Amino acid sequence: MLEHGGNLRDAVHSFKRPLSEWLDLSTGINPRFYPAPIVADHAWHRLPEHSDDLLAAAKSFYGAPEMLAVAGTQAAIQSLPLLRLTAAGQSRVVVSAPSYAEHAHQWRRWEHQVTECLYSGLDAAIDEADVVVLCNPNNPTGEVIAPETLLRWANRLEARGGWLIVDEAFGDTNPNLSVAAHTHQSGLIVLRSVGKFFGLAGIRLGFVAAHPTLLQRLAAHLGPWAISGPAQQVAIAALRDHAWQTDTRHYLELQGQRLRGLLIDAGMSSSGTDLFQWASHRDLSGRTELLWHFMAERGIWLRWFAQAPFRPHGVRFGLPGDEIGWQRLSHALMEWTQQYV
Ligand SMILES: Cc1ncc(COP(=O)(O)O)c(C=O)c1O
């Protein structure tokens, strides 16, 4: 299995510091997560049937014509390569890079011909591919592609029976970037997650927006009761809670600015979204591992991306969840600046 952020058990093991003493900044998950309501008894007790209320809430929030609920976007990322296995053979798949590593990994598992391609090279790669996969905005770099460009690419792929898969897991802080509204087009597939903006990664829930025929095939592949009853109830409340969503967008914008400001003060230029910042090896003057280690020794767990072909090389900072966390980060960055900048 690939390594991911949020792996605090590795932090405990490697640095011999108890779990409770870590400041976990290794993910892009909103630390001020949606306050889950008390779940009704039947959600624990009954088999979780398909929920029209959940889908209606999701379609309204994401602006998509048709959606399928899945147990985290990860479930869709693992399943879509299987739906592309045809008698005609494997697909030629272009995956944008550097990016969320599961995409390339899952397509390779089923022996599709995977090419990883920098964002800047995607336009030229579209006509050589059956499937193109990208994240918008990108994790970890924060790169974005304009919706008009994505729709043009989807048209070019659709004309040949191809797919454009747009992973919008980090799209909730900037809904204007979304192409979910256009997924009646048969070549366009959009993935959304309640794990990031809503901070509900633990309930394992995401959505796929796509043409109904593809959603039916995916639903049949995933089988019955894919979403637990408690996950359904919590997500319905979160997706309908417009006041919380507006307040949270504003809160995250301020938190994102604060994080960017701290990194600038520490001599790092960075890119990212309101939920995380990315400092590349170049931004860090080659001191990526040193910074990651320096922070870990102070109980601050960052996501370090070690170098490999087409893998990013740098560190990602998530948001501290409270003032004590901000002060710890700020103090550690100040020490870093005094010693190394
Ligand atoms: C870009 C991206 N897509 C999808 C996922 C999977 O998210 P989930 O399965 O929690 O919806 C992640 C997790 O980190 C991610 O970063």
Residue 96, domain member (yes or no): yes
- In 3D, which of 126, 104, 124, 130 has the Cα closest to residue 115? 104
Residue 262, domain member (yes or no): yes
Q: Which residue do the tokens 């990031």 mark?
A: 196
Q: Which residue do the tokens 């659709």 mark?
A: 158
Give the residue-averaged pLDDT of 274-289: 93
Indicate if ligand 1 lies below 6 Å from the C-beta of 61. no
The DSSP bridge pattern shows strands 188-193 and 163-167 to be parallel
Taking only the tens place, the pLDDT of each residue in 20-56 is 999 999 999 999 999 999 999 999 999 999 999 999 9
Q: 193, 224, 240: which is the final residue of a domain?
A: 240
Q: Distance from the CA of 193 to the center of ligand 1, in angstroms? A: 7
272 and 170 inside one domain? no
Q: Distance from the CA of 74 to the center of ligand 1, in angstroms? A: 6
68 and 212 inside one domain? yes
274 and 322 inside one domain? yes
137 and 261 inside one domain? no
Q: 240, 264, 292: which is the final residue of a domain?
A: 240
What pLDDT is recorded for position 310? Answer: 63
203 and 322 inside one domain? no
What pLDDT is recorded for position 228? Answer: 98
286 and 202 inside one domain? no
Choose the weakest-confidence range: 263-267, 305-309, 322-326. 305-309
Which tokens in the block code for residue 328? 């710890």
23 and 51 inside one domain? no
Q: 240, 265, 293: which is the final residue of a domain?
A: 240
Ligand 1 atom closest to the CA of 138, numbered from 1: 1
What range defines the domain where residue 198 resides?
Answer: 47-240
Residue 2, domain member (yes or no): no
Residues contacting residue 334 through CB under 8 Å, at least 6 positions apart? 266
Domain containing residue 186: CATH number: 3.40.640.10
* Three-class SS state of 63: coil
Residue 3, domain member (yes or no): no
DSSP labels, 146-169: -HHHHHHHHHHHHTTT-EEEEE-T
Percent of the chain topping pLDDT 70: 99
Give the residue-averaged pLDDT of 265-279: 96
Domain containing residue 263: CATH number: 3.90.1150.10
Taking only the tens place, the pLDDT of each residue in 80-115 is 999 999 877 899 999 999 899 999 999 999 999 999
Helix (H) or strand (E) holding 2: none
Residue 92, domain member (yes or no): yes
130 and 194 inside one domain? yes
Indicate if ligand 1 lies below 6 Å from the C-beta of 106. no
Residue 41, domain member (yes or no): no
> To test ligand 1's pocket by mutation, which of 30, 67, 74 has the most ligand atoms within 8 angstroms of CB?
74
Indicate if ligand 1 lies below 6 Å from the C-beta of 142. no
Indicate if ligand 1 lies below 6 Å from the C-beta of 283. no
Q: Distance from the CA of 169 to the center of ligand 1, in angstroms? A: 6
Residue 118, domain member (yes or no): yes
Tell me which long-range contacts 216-223 makes (C-beta under 8 A, separation of at least 24).
217/83, 218/68, 218/70, 218/76, 218/79, 218/80, 218/83, 219/68, 221/79, 221/82, 221/83, 222/70, 222/71, 222/75, 222/79
What CA–CA distance (Å, rounded) separates 180 from 185?
10
Indicate if ligand 1 lies below 6 Å from the C-beta of 198. no
Residue 55, domain member (yes or no): yes
Q: Which residue do the tokens 């070549």 mark?
A: 187
What pLDDT is recorded for position 309? Answer: 63
The chain-wide mean pLDDT, for the chain, equals 96
DSSP state of 181: G
213 and 259 inside one domain? no
147, 115 contact by CB (below 8 A): no
Alpha helix positions (H), 71-179: 73-83, 102-109, 122-125, 147-158
104 phi/psi in degrees, rounded to 5: -60, -40
Indicate if ligand 1 lies below 6 Å from the C-beta of 73. yes
72 and 214 inside one domain? yes
Taking only the tens place, the pLDDT of each residue in 160-217 is 999 999 999 999 999 999 999 999 999 999 999 999 999 999 999 999 999 999 999 9
197 and 223 inside one domain? yes
Which tokens in the block code for residue 229? 């009853």
Ligand 1 atom closest to the CA of 135, numbered from 1: 1
61, 249 contact by CB (below 8 A): no
Residues contacting residue 287 through CB under 8 Å, at least 6 positions apart? 340
Which tokens in the block code for residue 81? 């390569």
Choose the weakest-confidence range: 162-166, 246-250, 312-316. 312-316
Ligand 1 atom closest to the CA of 206, numbered from 1: 11
**How many of the other CB atoms lie within 10 Å of CB of 7?**
16
The DSSP bridge pattern shows strands 206-209 and 67-70 to be antiparallel
**How many of the other CB atoms lie within 10 Å of CB of 48?**
19
Burial of 141 per CB tally in 10 Å (0-12, 13-18, 19+): buried
Ligand 1 atom closest to the CA of 204, numbered from 1: 10
> How many domains does the chain divide into?
2
DSSP state of 310: T
Q: Which one has a higher pLDDT value, 119 or 332?
A: 332
Q: How far is CA 128 from the centre of its chain?
A: 26
Indicate if ligand 1 lies below 6 Å from the C-beta of 72. yes
- Side chain identity at residue 148, one-letter code: E
* Three-class SS state of 269: coil
309 and 328 inside one domain? yes
